[in-house]
Amino acid sequence: MNLIIGYGNPYRRDDGFGWRVIETLKAEPPLDTEFIETIQLMPEMAEDISHASKVVFVDATIEGTPGEIHVEKVHVEHRPPLNYTHYVAPQELLMMAELLYGHKPEACLITVTGEDFDLGEGLTAGVERAVPEAVEVIRGLIAEG
C-alpha cells in the first residue's frame, strides 16, 4: 500500500498545497493508495506509515522561488526520542514507525515554495500552477513500485 500525506493549513492560503494535491489525486486515485489530509504531522501517524510500502509527504515551504517544486528522499535519523508536543518531522515519523512497528517504508517529501501564508482560502496562482506537476511527480514515484 502507498500512503500520501498532505499536510498544512488550508485556511492559510499556500499552506493548503498538500490538501489541494490530495484533492486532485483523489479524482483519479493511483491503485493501492491511501490518503491522509492533516493540519500537522502527529506521532499517531507512525502506525499508518508502518503499514505502507511507500510514503509521500506533501507540504509547502517558504524556501525557494514561489511555485517551485522540490523533491527529496526522507531518511531516518537515529537519535534518542524527543518529547513530541507540537511538531513532528517526516524523518521522525519514519523513525517511530521503524522503532515501534518494525517497518520503515521508502519515503519522500514533495514541497512547493509558497508565496502567501496569511489567513485566507485558495492557493496563489503560482502555487496552483504547481499542483499538476506535483501530482505527476507523485504518480511517477508510485509507478516506480
Residue count (the chain) = 145
Q: pLDDT value at position 89?
A: 93
Q: Report pLDDT digits (tens) over 43-54.
A: 999 999 999 999
Q: pLDDT value at position 76?
A: 83
Which CATH number does the domain housing residue 113 bear? 3.40.50.1450
Q: pLDDT value at position 79?
A: 63
The residue range of the domain holding 111 is 2-143
Q: Report pLDDT digits (tens) over 63-100.
A: 999 999 999 999 886 665 556 556 799 999 999 999 99
Average pLDDT over residues 107-116: 98
Rounded mean pLDDT of the chain? Answer: 94
Burial 94-103 (b: 16+ CB within 10 A, else e): bbbbbeeeee
pTM: 0.94
DSSP the chain: -EEEEEES-TTBGGGGHHHHHHHHHHHSPPTTEEEEEESS--TTHHHHHHT-SEEEEEEEESSSSTT-EEEEE-----------SS---HHHHHHHHHHHHS---EEEEEEEE-S--SSBSS--HHHHHHHHHHHHHHHHHHHT-
Q: pLDDT value at position 2?
A: 98
Q: How far is it, in rounded angstroms, from Cα 59 to Cα 45?
A: 16
What is the number of structural domains in the chain? 1
